[in-house]
A and B are shown apart, each in its own frame.
Chain A
Amino acid sequence: MLDEQPRSASDFATLRELLLGPERQQLDELADRVDAAAITPETLADQLPEAIALRANRDQQLGRALAPTVETALRESIRKNPRDIATAIFPVLGPAIRKAIAETMAGLVRSINSAVEHSLSVQGIKWRIEAWRTGERYADVVIKHALVYRVEQVFLIHAETGLLLAHVTAPGLDVPDADLISGMLTAIQDFVLDSFRPGEGGTLSTFTVGEHTVHVEAGPRALIAGVVRGQCPEAVPQRLQRTLEQIHLEYASALAEFEGDPVPFGSTGPLLEENLETVLSTDRAAERRPLLWLRWALPLAAIVLVVLGLVAASSRRWGRAVRSMEAEPGFVVIDASRSWGRWHFRGLKDPNARDPRTVLAAAGLTPPAIAGEWKPYLSLDSAMIVARARRMLGVPASMTTTLAADTLRVAGNASLAWLGALRAAPAVPGVSRVDLSAVRANLPPGIDALRRRIERGRVLFAPGSFRVTEAGLTEIRGLATAMRQLSDSAAAIGASLRIDLVGRTDPTGTDATNQSLAELRVDAVMARLAAAGVPHAVLEGRPLATAQPLKADDAVEQASINRSVSFEVVVTKGSLGPRGP
């Protein structure tokens, strides 16, 4: 039995092994597995972080499941102790708030700058007029002229189908056909790729149409396209690229599963809008300020120069006018001034002075209007004396008058009547003598013929001799007849007559000898004329000797004609006054 006992036990074990072996092995394995899988707080603590990471990588179920719990916990925590949460998020919130404020302020400053610069400038007024004329908004007109660049539209496009996922536009812009444009952009991408085969990774990234540039950044599942008006800086495509990368990251599954429903991409709006940007040249006003200043300064300087030029010219004219008046004979300018449109002069004016307007016109000046305040006076200026003498003596215009010291010399032909009237003329202030030696009387024809006959006559002498030759006697006889007739004719018209006998010699011999020879020749001829019946009173000797020789072509002839006595006839009305030199 003892043997049986253990044998039966081992037999039972063997039997059990035979009957239940495979199942038992499975049970053992299960038991091991259950032991291994038993979740204790310790094992959970070890595996939880890894598990969360694993699940989060796989899908978003964990996040969705935890979200309500986390939200509740957060709410509870804030309710219990808000200070801790505030402290915790402060480092994040601070910069965010600062950034928001800074951006708002920058925008405000920009708009103030722009408003100040454009509202008051000529350009601003021009733009306002344009806005009023075209009916556009003022802001749009400013943008049109001052725009550096503006990102007007951003398209998010599904790469494979070309369908529009999302689209944002700048304020005020309406693009009704964004979906068509989106499709065509993709088609054009394909077209360019097929046409030029740029190789791996090549895309049509930029194209320019008029003032618009389209930047296309391509990702594996989506394209982003920005439409930029104006001068597009490098930063714009870079920012588009960053946005596209972010969208690929955040919307990876939505992009992969896209079947034409754009709703999941509605939330990309804010991301895309970050790319919309308007930069005006007024934002760079500081750089342009010197030019702006110049734009004002140049015309201003030109105006100032013109005004200064006009003032200077006017001042020069006035100076010239005053000088002309001061230099004009017959005026003494005491005071000269000018006001708008009127020149004032005050001083003395000789009655014979010219009209001030004539004086200024002669100087090339046309005065606006002249107000003169003149007191009369007698000028001793030679021109005034001459003018006065001519007026007082009634000198005909055909005669000339010159003044040397206080002697007025009159020259020209004068009528006997005028010569007669001259006797009774009043004394002219500034003139003590009137020289009439150069005045020829206009004689009646008969008298004049006799005068010419006498003045043609000449009594010639042999060298060194004063003896009247035969020829000389014959000449004297003829002259005496003419002189008698002249004397009678002059007496008949009440004119007085004087006949000068001018005695000359040739230049040989001493002056003293020649002078006495000339006197002797005059005396000889005078005696013969008197003997021939010419009234002695009309004859007057003028022995000049060699002083004023008669001129001839050759020396011998000249010597010959100067050995002579010749005659000068003076006929005048009344008796003649003192003779000139």
Chain B
Amino acid sequence: MLQKKICMVGMFGTGKTCLVQRYVHSLFSVKYLTTVGVKIDRREVQANGQPVMLMLWDLEGRDDTRDINTSYLKGAHGVLYVVDGTRHDTFDKMFEIRDLVTRTIGEVPSVVALNKSDLTDQWQLKPADDRRLADKRCSSLLTSAKSGAGVEAAFQQLADAIVAPTGAQR
């Protein structure tokens, strides 16, 4: 089966791990994140009519972009950026992280997950922020680790972007 390496990055506390926990097959415990700095999970999806195994590299969230271990990004076929919609700083930081990723591995398909969408009363993202995403040609969607909303779609969107319909892969 086709395999693809997906990196999940985002600031500390954006809920990356929670986001995927219910949707993946895990072998390693969460403590790998704090020890090794990465935890690898597995998720099978159908993308453009063929099964694809997504190997999800959940990178430990850091508050400082410089602390992100870029070694783990090597060879990634796609990136899932995770933003905490109730903390605007995580949104701003996402662009910094995105620059770092692009510098390290080049342009790869990516999806921005605007997480914690269930906390509408604390939501800090404005329509201006949507425009900013559109300007940067970032595809984004709302997700909630709590309700599970948008999670499947995020994986699906990313897998579809990575695996070309003709079978000619990126």
Contact = CB atoms under 8 A, between A and B. Distances in A.
Contact of A259 (B41, B69, B71, B170): B170
Interface string A176-191: 0101110110011011
Contacts of B13: none
Given A183-B57, A187-B72, A260-B77, A162 B42 contact: no
B36 A191 contact: yes
Closest 5 CB pairs of A and B: A161-B75, A160-B75, A190-B71, A183-B40, A161-B5
A251 B72 CA distance: 25
Contacts of A272: none
A388 interface: no
A163 B169 CA distance: 16
Interface in A135-189: 158, 160-164, 177, 179-181, 183-184, 187-188
A194 B4 CA distance: 24
A194 B38 CA distance: 13
A203 to B, nearest CB: 13
Interface in B113-170: 169-170
16 contacts: A163-B3, A163-B5, A180-B25, A180-B42, A181-B27, A183-B40, A184-B36, A184-B40, A187-B38, A190-B69, A190-B74, A191-B37, A193-B71, A260-B5, A260-B169, A262-B1
A261 interface: yes
Interface string B64-76: 0000010110111
Interface residues of B, number: 28
A531 B4 CA distance: 158
A194 B75 contact: no
Given A160-B75, A260-B4, A261-B2, A183 B55 contact: yes
A160 B74 contact: yes
Contacts of B41: 180
A190 B53 CA distance: 22
B69 A162 contact: no
Nearest to B38: A187
Given A177-B25, A184-B36, A187-B37, 15 more contacts: A158-B75, A161-B55, A161-B74, A163-B4, A163-B75, A180-B28, A181-B27, A184-B27, A184-B40, A188-B36, A190-B71, A190-B72, A191-B36, A260-B4, A260-B52
A259 B169 contact: yes
A198 B77 CA distance: 28
Nearest to A164: B3
Interface of A: 158, 160-164, 177, 179-181, 183-184, 187-188, 190-191, 193-194, 259-262
A180 B27 contact: yes
Most buried by B among A183, A188, A193: A183
B134 to A, nearest CB: 29
A190 B5 CA distance: 15
A181 B77 CA distance: 19
B3 A177 contact: no
A377 B155 CA distance: 119
A187 B27 CA distance: 14
A164 B5 CA distance: 11
A367 B74 CA distance: 93
Contacts of A261: 2-3, 169
A190 B36 CA distance: 9
A187 B40 contact: yes
A199 to B, nearest CB: 15
A193 B76 CA distance: 19
A262 B53 CA distance: 11
Contacts of B40: 162, 180, 183-184, 187
A187 B170 CA distance: 23
Interface string B1-37: 1111100000000000000000001011000100011
A411 B72 CA distance: 120
Contacts of A262: 1, 3
Contacts of B69: 190-191, 194
A98 to B, nearest CB: 41
Contacts of A181: 27
A382 B62 CA distance: 115
Contact of B42 (A161, A179, A260): A179
Contacts of A158: 75
A577 B38 CA distance: 128
A188 B71 CA distance: 10
Contacts of B38: 187, 191
A419 B32 CA distance: 116
